[in-house]
């Protein structure tokens, strides 16, 4: 399930595309216009939070760049090297012609 689907699960959903229905049909299927407007607004809030969250994430990643020499940095490079070596030894080599 994608992130947006998870968010969608939290707000009332249309059973059918709202544009395909007349106002009366829409009210009968989905409840009042107020309910639908509310659902639209909640979706807008979720979308806005998504945008702000992404901006915040980028800012945090940028900020982290200044933490040079952080604990574990050297050990991690050694660990990556060993993981890569392990992987390359398990990657099938091409036969020479």
**Rule CB under 8 A: which residues touch another protein?**
2-4, 6, 10-11, 38, 41-42, 44-46, 48-50, 52-58, 60-61, 63-68, 70-73, 75-77, 79-81, 83-84, 87-88, 91
Using the minimum distance from each CB to another protein, give the nearer residue, 20 or 91.
91
H/E stretch holding 63: helix 33-64
- Encoded tokens for 88: 């390359």
**Nearest approach, Cβ of residue 82 and another protein (Å):** 10
Give residues with Cβ within 8 angstroms of 29, minimum separation 6. 15, 16, 21
Distance CA 41, CA 56 (A): 22
**Nearest approach, Cβ of residue 39 and another protein (Å):** 10
Using the minimum distance from each CB to another protein, give the nearer residue, 16 or 47.
47
- Which of 20, 11, 7 lies closest to 39 in space, CA to CA? 11
Using the minimum distance from each CB to another protein, give the nearer residue, 22 or 71.
71
């Amino acid at each position: 399930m994608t992130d947006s689907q998870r968010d969608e699960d939290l707000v009332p959903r249309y059973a059918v595309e709202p544009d395909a229905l007349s106002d009366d049909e829409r009210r009968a299927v989905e409840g009042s216009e107020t309910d639908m407007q509310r659902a639209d607004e909640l979706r807008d809030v979720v979308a806005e939070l998504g945008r702000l969250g992404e901006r915040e994430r980028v800012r945090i990643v940028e900020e982290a760049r200044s933490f040079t020499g952080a604990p574990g940095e050297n050990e991690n490079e050694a660990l990556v090297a060993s993981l890569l070596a392990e992987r390359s030894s398990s990657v099938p080599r091409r036969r020479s012609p």
